[in-house]
A and B are shown apart, each in its own frame.
Chain A
Amino acid sequence: MSKEGNNLSEVDILEAPNILEYPYSRSTGPVIGEFMTKLRDGKIVGARTKSGKVIVPPTEYDPFTSEDIDGLVPVSTSGVITSWAWVVSPSEKHPLSEPFAWALIKLDGADSSMLHCVRAPSSTSVATGKRVKAKFRSQREGHIKDIEFFEIEEAANG
């Protein structure tokens, strides 16, 4: 018991672990489902809007007009970094255990960027405008993590 009247001391505070879980199962539907299926094949597809823009990762509707999309189209597995952040000390939940970059990546053929991680030796090798390529896992299951990471593309001509 506390020795200081009504004030709680450290030892009086009860603690219990609480594991946060929201174990919902979700259906992916015709657009996200197709994107995931293609990931399993080592490919990436985007949604083409009626105005001809390609949204990656795809949504079922045009994010600006809310119209239905005009189908799915393949895009490249390479692209360019449009923004990034360098994680100095990854958490146990992060996709990579070594220091890495989060990046928004605009794949060739796409008009929007997707978020994923980039493996690089240091923050100095990452920059907006740098070209990166998706590295797929050998065992794929139709999941965003079928892309293990993106890596910096070697410049073709210096």
Chain B
Amino acid sequence: MREVAVVSFAQSKSVRRADDQNEVEMLMPVVSQAIANSGVPRKEIGFTISGSCDYLGGVPFAFVSGLDAVGAWPPITESHVEMDGAWALYEAWVRLQHGDIDSALVYSFGKSSLGDISQVLSQQLDPYYLAPLWPDSVSLGAIQTRSWLDSGHSEKELAQLVSRNRQFASTNEHSQITKLIDPETYLAKPYIIEPLRIDDCPPVSDGACALVLVAGDRAKACSTRLAWIKGIDHRSEPHSLGVRDLSISVSTKQAGKNCGALDIRADICELHAPFSAQQAILEEALGIDESVIVNPSGGALCANPVMAAGLIRIGEAASRIINGEANCAIAHATAGPCLQQNLVCVLEGGN
């Protein structure tokens, strides 16, 4: 395998409504910053790929307009996935394995505020059995949380988890929710969709991010400190929610095994868990114990630009390696309802 490193990452601050910015305006500063910090001249980038969702804006081929943020003239080699940007990164990683190019720009963006995001996401579900019932994403998150609670866990565990994430988010300048909450205050709040309290759910976020991947010796020339991708894999659960045990994440465990995440001692771990119980489910699947700092960014519970939140996990983990805070990290991204698809990668510092 050809060694590939994350050399730079940039993200916008997540906000509830970026009313005065369209997707391109959200993207331009982060794309420019990621390229500038990579040391690779824009015209030398070999491959450009994005992850986004046409359902958010309700416009077919909405991602094409996103290309205005990268400048597609003279013509560039470009691709797109209708998934979180983490899967765009996977495609870029595969593309770099071909060996004929050395660098790739990966970006993703989401304006979740354009509609009722939890309802919009219900229309991406199975069109025969699920979509006609409009089971919104918060309701499905609640069902998964119930399964997890039924498997022998308590709401007090969620209270601790939420409180800890908020503490981390309070020092993250890009986070949307930065207000601390103690476990007692959490437990005193009413359910919005039982068993979920508002603090178990992600905020509605608008945001964007970009990172640059560089392979082999070309990467070593970029910087003295890089976040090397030591392993990456993604797996999917069966199609129907009702054939799965929602209290565990089999596909995360499979992806973790295949990319080596189960065999390493990570310093930090960034898990893409829009709902609080999902974070606990993912920790269990990846065998994360108390020695690992989980979601030092605050996670998707505190900022959730849909389609970018997974790539942000990889970027956050890589940034902490690049700045020397950590040497080894696990990053995870999810897509679909109730942790349907999961991507895991292992990052390690070095030159």
Whether the Cβ atoms of A13 and B19 lie closer than 8 Å is yes
Query: Which residues of B have CB within 8 Å of A56?
Result: 242
Interface residues on chain B, size class: 35 or more
Give Cα A92 to B121, complex, Å.
16
Cross-interface CB contact of B142 among A20, A55, A85, A106, cutoff 8 Å: A85
Q: Which residue of A lies closest to B120 (CB)?
A: A20
Q: Mark B163-193, 1 if CB is under 8 A from A, else 0.
A: 0000000000000000000000000001111
Contact of B241 among A24, A104, A144 (CB under 8 A): A104
User: When the two chains form their complex, are residues B139 and A57 in contact, meaning their CB atoms are under 8 A apart?
Assistant: no
Instruction: State whether A85 touches B243 (Cβ < 8 A).
Output: no
Give Cα A106–Cα B240 distance, bound, in whole angstroms.
Answer: 13
Number of interface residues of A (CB under 8 A): 43
Known A22-B123, A88-B192; judge A102-B135 contact (CB<8 A): yes
User: Which residues of B have CB within 8 Å of A116?
Assistant: 133
For A15, give the chain B residue with the smallest CB separation.
B19
Write out the residue numbers on chain A whose beta carbons fall within 8 Å of the beta carbon of B116.
91
Partner of B193, one of A26, A64, A87, A145: A87
Stretch from A68-76, A107-115, A131-139 forming part of the interface with B: A107-115
**Which residues from 96 to 133 on chain A have a C-beta closer than 8 Å to any C-beta of chain B?**
102-104, 106, 112-117, 123, 128
**Segment touching A, from B29-37, B99-107, B124-132, B339-347:** B124-132
Complex contacts, B123 vs chain A, CB 8 Å? 20, 22
Q: Chain B 112-154, CB within 8 Å of chain A: the 1/0 string?
A: 0011100110110001111011111001101111110010000
A63 to B196, CA, bound (A): 29
- A88-B191 CB under 8 A given contacts A22-B123, A115-B129, A145-B132: yes
Known: A18-B58, A20-B115. A83 touches B143 (CB 8 A): yes
Determine whether A3 belongs to the interface, using a CB cutoff of 8 Å to chain B: no
Judged by a CB distance under 8 angstroms, whether B265 is at the interface is no
Measured CB to CB, the closest approach of chain B to A40, in angstroms, equals 14
Q: Smallest Cβ distance from A103 to chain B, in angstroms?
A: 8
Per-residue 0/1 for A57-97: is the Cβ within 8 Å of any B Cβ (1 yes, 0 no)?
Answer: 10100011000000000000000001111111001011100
Contact with A along B243-263 (1 / 0, CB 8 A): 100100000000000000000
Contact bitstring A15-28, B, C-beta under 8 A = 1, else 0: 00011101010101
Say yes or no: is B239 at the interface (Cβ < 8 Å to chain A). yes
Name the residue of chain B whose CB is nearest to the CB of A147: B133
Which among B132, B144, B238 has the highest number of chain A CB atoms within 10 Å?
A: B238
B90 an interface residue at 8 Å Cβ cutoff? no
Known contacts A88-B191, A102-B143; A26/B196 CB under 8 A: no
Are A86 and B194 closer than 8 Å at their CB atoms?
yes
**B-side contacts of A113, CB under 8 Å:** 241-243
> When chains A and B are docked, how far (Å) is the Cα of A123 from the Cα of B20?
42
Q: B132 and A63: CB pair below 8 A? A: no
Partner of B147, one of A32, A83, A86, A102: A83
Whole-angstrom distance between the Cβ of B249 and the nearest chain A Cβ? 15
Within 8 A of B (CB), among A11-45: 13, 18-20, 22, 24, 26, 28, 32, 36
Give the residues in chain A near B336, CB-CB below 8 Å.
Answer: none
Closest partner residue, chain A, to B241 (CB atom): A115
Whether B128 pairs with A26 at a CB distance below 8 angstroms is yes
Q: Which A residue sits closest to B133, measured CB to CB?
A: A95
- The distance in angstroms between the C-alpha atoms of A28 and B129, with both chains bound, is 11
Can you list 30 A-B pairs, Cβ within 8 angstroms, ordered by A? A13-B19, A20-B58, A24-B127, A26-B128, A59-B240, A63-B240, A64-B238, A82-B147, A82-B242, A83-B144, A83-B147, A84-B146, A85-B139, A85-B195, A85-B196, A86-B142, A87-B193, A88-B194, A91-B119, A102-B142, A104-B241, A104-B242, A112-B243, A113-B241, A114-B242, A115-B130, A115-B241, A115-B242, A116-B133, A144-B132
Give 19 new A-B contacts, CB below 8 A, not counting A83-B146, A85-B193, A93-B119.
Answer: A13-B20, A18-B58, A32-B128, A56-B242, A82-B147, A82-B242, A85-B143, A87-B193, A91-B119, A93-B122, A94-B136, A95-B133, A103-B143, A104-B143, A104-B242, A112-B242, A113-B242, A115-B135, A115-B143
Listed in ascending order, the chain B residues whose CB lies under 8 Å from chain A are 19-20, 55, 57-58, 114-116, 119-120, 122-123, 127-130, 132-136, 139-140, 142-147, 150, 190-196, 238-243, 246
